[in-house]
């Protein structure tokens, strides 16, 4: 039996475990939280990501180690790499952990990205605002996710308060992109370099948190461009596993926002809507197994459940809807599960969304405004 170690025990680890059990894989998870939700399904090593003895314990047991989030210290990945195969590699984590390194990589590879400037002092912030103009977004270079560690600057009066809020750690100022939509490319690359792409995904965020993804995307023409950019990133990093690249679409062109070197929330629909899920394909890739087909089974909409799950019976009453609960306690702003609706007919889609959207805190008007 092949043994997979996962650093981080959140929902992504849990969904990897669920996919991997069907392949006959075994799992151990390293997480500092005793109640990490993947620990309900696999043996949990409770320990910090810097804890060398715990990292070694995981590395000794596993045939391969992977991550459920990219903010594991790169030093931890290097310690693991001394003992066991680790994908993605420490070097990739290092780049993806820092928005400046990530954007520099995009520029090096000729991939359009947002205008940006690094900011380490209030003076630098003022100079960056003059260079980029307002509105702009100030972000922490590291450890930001789901819109955390970000502040939009609209008028000059915002500059000092944003600095008070976020200053003290390395920052980056980005132009605020007036995008038409947001899309992501999910790709999987095997140990032999074979690469497969899922259909381009269209994403809707509210307050920096992904609320809804849908495939196929309405801008099918962008798919080819997105695949090319993503292939450049994968080949440059000699990447193994599933990787997502998030883009803004502005005036019909792609502008790269960030890389996620892991399975990604905008790929959760693949469990019910693709021939092989992103989770299974990530495991296949890191274990050197043949990759599965990434074909779409039919149009899908994935809805994130934020804070609390909707009532099971009410969701299941909507035909063609799949319920995924992560085993987490309810908490404001927390991703606790997702729903996937897979329906071909547009009238039926509208009827289903009328029921489902309010159950996850969205309105049909908000959806229609986003959709058209
Ligand atoms: P991020 O953590 O960079 O993925 O940002 C989360 C979300 O905030 C993005 O998906 C966008 O909806 C929004 N956002 C972040 N950066 C920008 C930007 N430079 N311009 C416009 N919107 C942004």
Residue having the nearest C-alpha atom to atom 13 of ligand 1: 208
Ligand 1 neighbour 182 (Cβ under 6 A): yes
Distances (CA, A) of 94 to 149, 304, 320: 18, 28, 40
| pTM of the model as a whole | 0.95
In angstroms, how far is the first alpha carbon of the chain from the final one?
Answer: 49
- Which residue blocks in the chain are alpha helix, DSSP H? 11-21, 52-61, 74-81, 90-96, 99-108, 122-132, 157-166, 222-237, 270-273, 278-286, 312-316, 346-359, 364-371
pLDDT, tens digit only, all 372 positions of the chain: 899 999 999 999 999 999 999 999 999 999 999 999 999 999 999 999 999 999 999 999 999 999 998 888 888 999 999 999 999 998 999 999 999 999 999 999 999 999 999 999 999 999 999 999 899 999 999 987 666 789 999 999 888 998 999 988 999 999 999 999 999 999 999 999 999 999 999 999 998 899 999 999 877 789 999 999 999 999 999 999 999 999 999 999 999 999 999 999 999 999 999 999 999 999 999 999 999 999 999 999 999 999 999 999 999 999 999 999 999 999 999 999 999 999 988 889 989 999 999 999 999 888 888 876
Rounded to the nearest 10 degrees, how much is the dihedral formed by the CA atoms of 42, 44, 50, 55?
-70
46: which 2 tokens?
């409770």
| 102 inside domain | no
Statement to judge: residues 189 and 293 lie in one domain: yes
Statement to judge: residues 217 and 297 lie in one domain: yes
Statement to judge: residues 141 and 205 lie in one domain: no
Statement to judge: residues 255 and 345 lie in one domain: yes
Distances (CA, A) of 99 to 143, 144, 187, 213: 9, 9, 20, 23
Domain boundary among 128, 150, 175: 175
Residue with tokens 């992501």: 184
| 100 inside domain | no
Q: Which domain holds residue 257?
A: 181-371
248: which 2 tokens?
């803004």
Ligand 1, from 147, 173, 250, 304: best to mutate by most atoms within 8 Å of Cβ?
147
- Domain with residue 52: its CATH number is 3.40.50.20
Ligand 1 neighbour 147 (Cβ under 6 A): yes
Domain boundary among 160, 175, 190: 175
Statement to judge: residues 139 and 249 lie in one domain: no
Statement to judge: residues 220 and 139 lie in one domain: no
Residue having the nearest C-alpha atom to atom 8 of ligand 1: 208
């Amino acid at each position: 039996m092949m043994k997979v170690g996962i650093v981080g025990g959140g929902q992504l680890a849990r969904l990897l475990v669920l996919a991997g059990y069907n392949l006959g894989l075994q799992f151990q998870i390293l997480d500092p939280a005793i109640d990490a939700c993947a620990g309900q399904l696999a043996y949990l090593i409770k320990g910090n990501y810097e804890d060398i003895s715990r990292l070694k314990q995981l590395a000794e047991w596993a045939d391969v180690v992977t991550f459920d989030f990219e903010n594991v210290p790169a030093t931890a990945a290097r310690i693991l790499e001394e003992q066991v195969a680790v994908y993605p590699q420490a070097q990739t984590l290092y780049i993806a952990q820092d928005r400046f390194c990530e954007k520099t990589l995009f520029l090096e590879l000729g991939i359009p990205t947002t205008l940006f400037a690094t900011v380490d002092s209030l003076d630098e912030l003022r100079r960056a605002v003059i260079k980029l103009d307002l509105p702009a977004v100030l972000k922490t270079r590291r450890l930001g996710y789901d819109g955390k560690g970000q502040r939009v600057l609209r008028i000059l009066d915002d500059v000092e308060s944003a600095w008070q809020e976020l200053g003290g750690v390395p920052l980056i100022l980005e132009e605020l992109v007036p995008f038409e939509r947001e899309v992501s490319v999910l790709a999987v690359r095997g140990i032999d370099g074979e690469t497969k792409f899922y259909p381009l995904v269209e994403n809707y965020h509210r307050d920096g948190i992904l609320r809804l993804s849908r495939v196929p995307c309405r801008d099918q023409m962008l798919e080819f461009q997105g695949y090319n950019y993503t292939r450049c990133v994968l080949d440059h990093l000699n990447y193994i596993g599933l990787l997502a690249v998030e883009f803004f679409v502005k005036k019909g062109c792609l502008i790269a926002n960030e890389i996620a070197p892991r399975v990604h929330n905008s790929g959760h629909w693949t469990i019910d809507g693709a021939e092989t899920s992103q989770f299974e394909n990530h495991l296949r890739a890191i274990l050197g197994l043949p990759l599965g087909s990434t074909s779409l089974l039919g149009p899908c909409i994935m809805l994130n459940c934020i804070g609390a799950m909707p009532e099971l019976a009410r969701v299941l009453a909507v035909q063609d809807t799949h319920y995924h609960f992560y085993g987490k306690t309810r908490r404001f702003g927390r991703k606790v599960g997702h729903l996937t609706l897979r329906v071909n007919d547009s009238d039926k889609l509208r009827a289903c969304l009328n029921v489902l959207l309010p159950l996850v805190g969205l309105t049909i008007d908000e959806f229609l405004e986003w959709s058209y």
